[in-house]
Amino acid sequence: LRVAYHLSDADKVNFVLGNIKNHYEGTSGDVEVVLVVHGPALAAFKSKSASGATSSRFAGLVQQGLVPQACSNTMHGMDIALTDLLAGFQVAEKGGVVKLAELQRQGYVYLRP
């Protein structure tokens, strides 16, 4: 099973991370999860300002195999460098929405909680 989570709403960061945790637990880890983050939600993953709970939960999910992708357009617009983000992020070079479409074309199930 391959799943792409779409996150743009800063108010849903912890909810979505909880969904991903449940996804790993519900599939005994037999799942590939990509989290595509763009818009206001990306600021919640800045290493200097992320809450301890978000940082800890995110790090645990990355250890389980989560592949987080940051929208290059949002990074440029918000003046965020990859090094500003929590460890594990990759850059969605063509943008978040393009990355989501590519993942769907590759057979990933699209989820936007």
Whole-angstrom CA distances from 55 to 17, 29, 80 are 11, 20, 17
- Single pTM value for the model: 0.96
Average pLDDT rounded to a whole number, residues 98-108: 98
**Residue 29 pLDDT class (50, 70, 90 cuts):** confident
pLDDT exceeds 90 at position 36: yes
Displacement of CA 104 from its chain's centroid (Å): 15
Is there a contact between 2 and 31 (Cβ–Cβ < 8 Å)? yes
Instruction: Give the whole-number percent of the chain exceeding pLDDT 90.
Output: 96
**Structure letter (DSSP) for residue 50:** S
Architecture label for domain 2-111: 3-Layer(aba) Sandwich (3.40)
- Compute the mean pLDDT over every residue in the chain, rounded to the nearest whole number: 97
Beta strands in the chain (DSSP E): 2-7, 32-37, 67-71, 90-92, 109-111
